Amino acid sequence: MENIALIESFSEFKDDKFIDRVTLMSILEDVFRNALKKKFGSDDNFDIIINPDKGDLEIWRNRIVVADGEVEDDNQEISLTAARKIEPDFEVGEDVSEEVKLIHLGRRSILALRQNLISKIHEHDNTNIYKHFKELEGEIYTAEVHHIRHRAIIMLDDEGNEIILPKDRQIPSDFFRKGENVRGIIESVELKGNKPSIVMSRTSPLFLEKLFESEIPEVFDGLISVKKVVRIPGEKAKVAVDSYDDRIDPVGACVGMKGSRIHGIVRELGNENIDVINYTNNLQLYITRALSPAKVTSIKINEETSRAEVMLRPEEVSKAIGRGGHNIRLAGQLTGYEIDVFREGVEEDVELTEFSDEIDSWIIEEFSKIGLDTAKSILEQEISDLVKRTDLEEETVSEVMRILKSEFED
């Protein structure tokens, strides 16, 4: 294959990959120099002239003329007799430039050249993809389901870039079919080898925040700011919003008439229950709002330990805790305070941790997960209900009940 034909076949990558002329020339020269190093041991004395637009390539080897029999390095030196075959009036000590045809490198070298070029262009392409998606980290992105696996969904965007949605980044109720468009945020972009790994998430609190930006004009325009978002994906979320303009009701603007504005976000998240609350620097008021829909009677705050003791009427306790303890857990995450719930009118109660000598810590932790931290808060529950809400056996729950009852009987 002649030089011109080879460079014409190489230049097709310029159109396919949209590589600029300077970059293509740099990649081509690097590829040819590697081939020359393998063939001749060094490329220092070679000049490479490339014009991809015209399909033109020239390689020239520069050597010094030495007397016959004194050639020590075939690549750097040429004998006087050999030099005069190129041009008859050469003398010892002069420089000789001789064109090297690619065909002289051998068929294997030419095949290696092409493979090396493909590898370099893919590397360049992958670097550009990595940079592009790195700038999109934390932004909403849409891609089409291409392949469904047990642990992840593989998607492709309009440019054919592969995006991964792992199982643990999917909302539990998510169900996608091949060819369906999926929205999420670009959570992370890493280079694994030379290939970019792009991971999408639908469970990140940031996804919900970005949905507020895209669906609610006042948030997009900066008139309303999203202060914090906490989520139990697919179950419940709490979003604290604020406005610097007193004329704007941030909660009303985000929810809309009869929930019209937030409805699309709820649907996108698999009917996730979203509480939107007004942010405030008044910590007591903030915790009160965070525990909505429960109505708080009083709050005692310990800033040193970041704990808050909340007093509620007995009928409000279940609202504060919420199904599966979701409400109180999210309220704690939103405010940054550990919230302990107490029933109004109950004079005496005992922290569950006080029973650590008789009840294993992992069992105490199971009750804590659903917002039950005191003896009476557990004793007021039905055994069957506690078995459903925790990961405990009925026998274990009954034994705990017996221990707690004996404390108050004594």
31 in a structural domain: yes
**Conformation bin of residue 106: beta by default, left when phi > 0, alpha when psi is -120 to 50:** left
Q: Are residues 38 and 110 in the same domain?
A: yes
The residue among 16 and 259 whose pLDDT is bigger is 259
Q: Are residues 100 and 67 in the same domain?
A: yes
Rounded Cα distance, 369 and 324, in Å: 8
pLDDT, tens digit, 9 for 90 and up, residues 104-138:
676 676 676 677 777 777 777 777 888 889 999 99
Q: Are residues 9 and 126 in the same domain?
A: yes
Q: What are phi and psi of 103, to 5 degrees?
A: -60, -25
Which parts of 244-290 are beta strand (E)? 273-278
Q: What is the residue whose two structure tokens read 């931290």?
A: 373
pTM of the model: 0.64
Number of domain units in the chain: 3
Q: Are residues 190 and 233 in the same domain?
A: no
329 in a structural domain: no
Q: Are residues 140 and 241 in the same domain?
A: no
Structure tokens belonging to residue 42: 């060094």
pLDDT, tens digit, 9 for 90 and up, residues 36-89:
887 788 888 888 877 765 556 788 889 888 888 888 888 888 888 888 888 888
Rounded Cα distance, 59 and 80, in Å: 22
Can you tell me the mean pLDDT for 385-395? 87
The mean pLDDT value of the chain amounts to 85
Rounded Cα distance, 94 and 65, in Å: 6
Q: Are residues 113 and 144 in the same domain?
A: no
143 in a structural domain: yes
Tell me which of 115, 131, 147 is where a domain ends. Answer: 131
Q: Are residues 119 and 168 in the same domain?
A: no
407 in a structural domain: no
Q: Contact at 8 Å (CB) between 143 and 157?
A: yes
- Looking up residue 246, the CATH number of its domain turns out to be 3.30.300.20
In order of 83, 209, 255, the CA distances from 265 in angstroms are 79, 10, 10
Structure tokens belonging to residue 359: 């009840």
Q: What are phi and psi of 407, to 5 degrees?
A: -60, -45
Provide the terminal-to-terminal Cα distance of the chain, rounded to the nearest Å: 99
Residue partners of 47: CB distance under 8 A and separation at least 6: 58, 59, 60, 62, 97
Q: Are residues 155 and 250 in the same domain?
A: no
SS3 190: strand
Q: Are residues 95 and 147 in the same domain?
A: no
Q: Are residues 29 and 120 in the same domain?
A: yes
Tell me which of 228, 254, 279 is where a domain ends. Answer: 279
pLDDT, tens digit, 9 for 90 and up, residues 333-380:
999 999 998 887 655 677 888 788 888 989 998 888 888 888 888 888
For 86, the domain range is 3-131
Q: Are residues 68 and 21 in the same domain?
A: yes
Entry field: residues in the chain: 410
